[in-house]
Amino acid sequence: MTALQKTEKLGKTTFGGALNAGLRAALANDPKVLLMGEDIGKLGGVFRITDGLQAEFGEHRVLDSPLAESGIIGTAVGLAYRGYRPVPEIQFDGFVYPAFDQIVSQVAKIHYRTGGAVTIPMTIRIPFGGGIGSPEHHSESPEAYFVHTPGLRVVSPSSPAEAYWMIQDAIACEDPVIFFEPKRHYHDKQDLTGIEEGKDRLPLGAARVAREGEHVTLVSYGSLVKTCLNVATAAEDEGISIEVIDLRSLSPIDFGTIEASVRKTGRLVIAHEAALTGGLGAEIATGVTERCFHYLEHAPVRVTGWDLPYPPSKLEKHHVPDLDRILDGVDRALDRPNSYSRFEGK
């Protein structure tokens, strides 16, 4: 059975199922694609994203690795040097740090170090973010470390449809891609009937206007896009029209799409789970201010996780931005009464 035949059978599918289907299509379409990681073979991964792929493609293409993240990425570097397209999985976000040296010192630099003679077409899958009741090392948002590293692409899908196409586009890319998967949405479902026609497929580096609006631009990515769409629906009851932008690509950032929106609305809110300081929100706020300062009617507002190590599970609802906190950020951008008003004498 070919990959195309399999995609034709996709109907209502979970986020995890869409990733599985995308990986299956990549394996079927290119014999150089290899998956590797801890427990991804016989077990199918702790989140079952690779379930059934080893049985279908064999132990030489879906490899169970030792519990050694640096070794996984180092091995993938060697495979990429030899012309393969490795897709290593880091089991949880907080486990990527043992592999950080390999990613930053080798994966990101080899193409430049060799004067363009060697490419590293590697896709590093990382489940990330909170919301599943797990503690530190299992609920972290380390994306800014990699966004800050030239030579890497960093992306994050927000829906099953995006997951299905983006994982295939990442694997086909000649650049190394850090692929952040919002693990708390692995069980979200979407009807993917007819997705193989690719009608809504965007280039890997493009942002998507997930909902059009007039009064405020709300930018997010990964797990919080769904929350931001709910924010827009809630705000509609008060006559506030919010344009929601799903960033999709964290590096490079599609500033053209964000700028076009801000020039229309004049107000910008950025939401992410990662900590405030040095986070992606700071980069977006600065970039928009530099590019369209005279269109802004209010300073950009950031709604983020707190500058703290990820808290115990019972406290994460206070750490991860929710609908109320993002609505409060929208009120700040619109100069409406908000949680900061009492400090500003309003």
Which residues form the catalytic set?
A: 138
The token pair that represents 135 in the structure block: 């503690």
Question: Alpha-carbon distance 4 to 17, whole Å?
Answer: 16
Question: Alpha-carbon distance 104 to 278, whole Å?
Answer: 18
Q: Which residues pair with 270 in a beta bridge?
A: 219, 302
Phi-psi region at 130: left, alpha or beta (left = phi > 0; alpha = psi -120 to 50): beta
169 near 340, Cβ under 8 Å?
no
Question: Alpha-carbon distance 94 to 69, whole Å?
Answer: 11
Question: Alpha-carbon distance 169 to 154, whole Å?
Answer: 12
Question: Alpha-carbon distance 220 to 227, whole Å?
Answer: 9
Question: Alpha-carbon distance 173 to 290, whole Å?
Answer: 30
Q: What stretch of H or E contains 325?
A: helix 323-333
Residue 46 CA, distance from chain mean position:
19
Q: What are phi and psi of 141, to 5 degrees?
A: -130, 80
